[in-house]
Copies of this chain bind each other. A is one copy, B any other.
Amino acid sequence: MDVTRDFATAAEQLAHVGRRFDARGWVLGTSGNLSVVIDRNPLRLAITRSGAPKGDLTADAIIEVDEGGAAVLPDAGRPSAETLLHLEIARVRAAGAVLHTHSIWSTVLSAQYLPAAGIAIEGYEMLKGLEGVPTHEHREWIPILENDQDMIRLSGRVRRLLAEHPACHAFLLHRHGLYAWGQTLEQAVRHVEIVEFLLEAVGRTNRHVEDI
């Protein structure tokens, strides 16, 4: 089984990822949220507490939640408002970790490309770092969803989006950043970094296009 890792280890690893993303400016304020699957059946996640600064995740900033999104321990505090999205992704994609970053470029491009409902990226070697992609000639579609404060409604839309785009490795919420995932936390981190890179490359390329 792929989720034998215990809660304490998971919390420590999420803190490490939080520091890394914070240094890159991808989780400013208390934005972003990070989770790993710690049990599969029934589904359990270790997920960041609502409002915790991701660059300094102390032990009490990681909460164990059940398949309904409720904290397992009574005094654990409030899990991330977006816990339902994490659970949905973990279930549909059999992901071992789900990461949400909130970078400048993912935010800017999610608005620019909203009319097209997504961004097509192809021809970049970096695409090969996405699981199962053998060549830079791959065309990755990064869908964009309208943002919503109703998490039940939004998680339903995420479920449909994942069904419609079975090959996608990540999606954007409009002016709300990036969701990516992986079979392991390591793979999820790689996917986040690759998609953040690609979005920045596309964003900076757009401005150059007329220049040459």
Q: Is the CB of B29 within 8 A of A123?
A: no
Please report which residues of chain A, range 171-212, place their CB below 8 angstroms from some CB of chain B when the two chains form the complex: 173-177, 186, 189-191, 193-194, 196-197, 200-201, 203-209, 211-212
Q: A104-B200, A201-B107, A207-B211 are in contact. Are A129 and B177 (CB under 8 A)?
A: no
Cα distance A208–B190 in the bound complex, in angstroms: 27
Cα distance A115–B212 in the bound complex, in angstroms: 10
Kindly identify which residue among B55, B107, B129, B136 contacts A149, using a CB–CB cutoff of 8 Å: B136
Q: How many copies does the complex hold?
A: 4
Q: Is the CB of B108 within 8 A of A175?
A: no
Cα distance A102–B101 in the bound complex, in angstroms: 21
Residues of B within 8 A of A193 (CB): 28-29
Q: Is the CB of B212 within 8 A of A29?
A: no
Instruction: Answer yes or no: A76 CB below 8 A from chain B CBs.
Output: no
Cα distance A23–B55 in the bound complex, in angstroms: 13
Residues of B within 8 A of A200 (CB): 104
Q: A28-B194, A29-B194, A194-B28 are in contact. Are A125 and B211 (CB under 8 A)?
A: no
Cα distance A91–B186 in the bound complex, in angstroms: 35
Taking Cβ atoms with an 8 Å cutoff, the residues of A that contact B are 20, 23-25, 28-31, 53, 55, 102, 104-105, 107-108, 111-113, 115, 123-126, 129, 134-136, 147, 149, 173-177, 186, 189-191, 193-194, 196-197, 200-201, 203-209, 211-212
17 other contacts beyond A30-B129, A123-B147, A203-B204, with CB at 8 A cut-off? Answer: A24-B25, A29-B126, A29-B129, A29-B193, A53-B189, A102-B125, A104-B204, A111-B123, A111-B205, A112-B208, A112-B211, A113-B212, A123-B175, A124-B175, A125-B173, A134-B149, A206-B211
